[in-house]
Structure 1
Amino acid sequence: MELMYFELGWQHILNWEGYDHILFVIALSAIYLLREWKKVLVLVTAFTIGHSVTLALSVLHIVKIPAALIEFLIPVTICITALSNILRRDREPQNLQLNYGYALFFGLIHGLGFSNYLKSLLGSQANIVKPLLGFNLGLEFGQIIIVAAVMLISGLIVQIGHVKRRDWNMFLSSAVFGIAFLMVIEGIRGMII
């Protein structure tokens, strides 16, 4: 049973229909290269911890936030993360505590985005601990796949393609920002209508 939730977790994060989560993980890992994989693993885990907390609180009906607000806030977190990458002056990531804080806090918001999906899966199930753990581990696994792909592509482009690290970061983060900004506009429309 828990294996089913693990599978649903990684499939959910890797689903192109929910590309907002993919964009956020890309933005989180855009400034890193393969040799910095440990930093990114901790960063993604901070994100997972954040969304695990609000996912549990929402599934237990302790926290209730309108879906339209969450659908607006998720792309805002992506825009902020991508913009902070763009505005970064140094070539290598320095202030990791700030990045971990972003990841943890934004994970809280993204967890609310997963909650409706998970609530529909759980139905009236009494014990949610094992399914919740399985789902979160699946999400973490899916995020690691995304990070590995981004870091592999970044490594190829920067090290083999001889593109400057800063230029690659600007390109990737700007692309993510542009897509997320359009999502913010859609989110505003969704809250107004």
Structure 2
Amino acid sequence: MNLKKIVSLLVILILYSVGNNVLAHGVDGDTQTFLSGNDGVAFGPFLYIGAKHMLTGYDHLLFLVGVIFFLYRPKEVLLYVSFFTIGHSLTLLLGVMADISINSYLIDAIIALSIVYKGFDNLGGFKRFFGAQPNTKAAVLIFGLFHGFGLASKLQDFKFDKDGLFTNLLGFNIGVEIGQFIALAFVLILITLWRRSPSFIRFSTLTNTLLMAAGFLLLGYQLTGYVTS
């Protein structure tokens, strides 16, 4: 694949997320109809909804792009993604099962902040301005917890039938992981191809700056929604 096409695809992913920030946690009409009318166990449909939601959850994906951007070893990628997965799985299940209600605008604002954090971290901002480097694994786990509450906050908008709730949530969470795997595979292929070129380091600053910009724009959108809602 041509190098310019690889860079363009990564930049488009970042810019497209900004232009479609409304969809970051949105639920389309057909899905709303199904969730509102669901009765009993529906593992398959919830699995599909979870996968689709993750593939269109641009805020989640942008954070993961930042997480894996400078990870070269498959073992490291697996480790960091596992921390993120553990975090969002716990709070997704806990949030819905325990009916922990958090304002969706505020939780999405924190998710947007996680994107800013990772872009800033990738640019070496913490060492440069504060002289210290936060524990990246702990940060990914903690932000993963917030991402899980973000997923839970949207599901809580629907009054689920308690019958089969845990099974349905399990299906949704597995679907989220499937969607995450598909998206990460695509991004990893692009980044791996790009790393073969000397331009990777040269354009990495621009890419992570755009990542931060996307996070700030999403943050502003969510805070505006919170104030005006």
TM-score band by shorter chain is: 0.7 to 0.9
Partner-residue secondary structure (3-state), 2:161: coil
Alignment RMSD (CA, Å): 2.4
Equivalent residue for 2:199, pick from 160, 163, 172: 163
Match of 1:29 in 2: 68
Change (3 A) 1:122 1:136: farther
- The amino acid across from 2:106 in the alignment is L
CA deviation profile, 1:66-94 (whole Å, cap 9, x unmatched): 1221121110111111111111799xxxx
Change (3 A) 1:191 1:122: closer
Give the CA deviation at 1:13.
0.6
- 8 Å CA contact retained: 1:32, 1:151: no
Cα distance between partner residues in 1 of 2:47 and 2:77: 21
Change (3 A) 1:143 1:158: same
Equivalent residue for 1:12, pick from 37, 53, 77: 53
Structure 2: gaps of 5 or more residues: 1-41, 128-133
- The amino acid across from 1:22 in the alignment is L
The TM-score normalised by the length of structure 1 is: 0.82
Cα distance between partner residues in 2 of 1:6 and 1:181: 31
- 8 Å CA contact retained: 2:50, 2:171: yes
Change (3 A) 1:138 1:189: same
The TM-score normalised by the length of structure 2 is: 0.70
CA deviation profile, 1:111-162 (whole Å, cap 9, x unmatched): 1111133335671233332222222222122222222222211121121x33
Structure 1: gaps of 5 or more residues: 91-96
- 8 Å CA contact retained: 2:105, 2:222: yes
Residue correspondences, number? 181
Give the CA deviation at 1:107.
0.9
Identity of aligned residues (%): 29
